[in-house]
Amino acid sequence: MLETRCYPQGSFERQKRLNLIIAKMQRSTQIWKAPNVPRDDYQEALQQTWLWFCENLDRYDPSKAGVMTWFNNNLRFKILNRWQEIQRERANFIDLETPLNKDEAPSMWNIPDSRPEPSTIMEDLLEWLEKNKKELKRIHVRNCPDVNCYILIRCRLPPEPIPWETLSKELKAAVPTLSGFYQRECITQLQRFAREGGYHS
């Protein structure tokens, strides 16, 4: 892996070694299978992760995680993004008042790997939320400081996101207001977390 990065991007030698790494990973049993995720969604996320893996090889830090952990964390994040897209589609096109079933969230946090993971993406996200708590609380719905990025991200995390209807009653804000703010501001902050954590480019 580290030797592969010594060769220039686009060179024949780098591509040859990269192909060997990918083949070895694909033959292993350590790539997350995501049994509760629809096959088409999983395959799309997997292909995106392979592309990300090849383009970001130079960003890999072996002191932070094993190669499979690094790969699987990004795959998880892409599945999480897809799940959030499905939530948004349902909110926009079905019924904003219908609470999501907690069983609809994929079980994405138990991933086999070649060595114990120092942390999971959820642990990293929770740590990031606390570290940036003050900043995230300053991003809120106009004249509604209680409806802020910190609160909504925490409340909507899988595997058991709090339904929009419940949040609407607790925060005294309309469901479309909460959902729209989440899509505009909270998703942007989650993407920032992903970039800072190296989960995607």
Lowest mean pLDDT among 99-113, 140-154, 163-177, 183-197: 99-113
Q: Over the Cα atoms of the chain, what is R_g? A: 19
Under the banding of pLDDT at 50, 70 and 90, the label for residue 63 is: confident
Grouping H, G, I as helix, E, B as strand and the rest as coil, residue 140 is strand
Which residue would you say has higher pLDDT here, 10 or 12? 12
Q: What's the count of helices (H) and strands (E) in the chain, helices before strands? A: 9, 2
The continuous run of DSSP H or E covering 141 comes out as strand 140-141
| CB-based burial label for 50 (10 Å; 0-12, 13-18, 19+) | middle
Contact 1, 54 (CB under 8 A): no
% of the chain residues with pLDDT over 70: 69
Average of pLDDT values for 157-173? 83
The model's pTM: 0.48
Biggest alpha carbon–alpha carbon distance for the chain: 60
What pLDDT was estimated at residue 87?
Answer: 60
Under the banding of pLDDT at 50, 70 and 90, the label for residue 100 is: very low
24: number of CA atoms within 13 Å, CB side? Answer: 10
pLDDT at 166 over 80: yes
Lowest mean pLDDT among 36-40, 75-79, 90-94, 143-147: 90-94
Q: What is the rounded distance in angstroms from the CA atom of residue 87 to the CA atom of residue 159?
A: 13
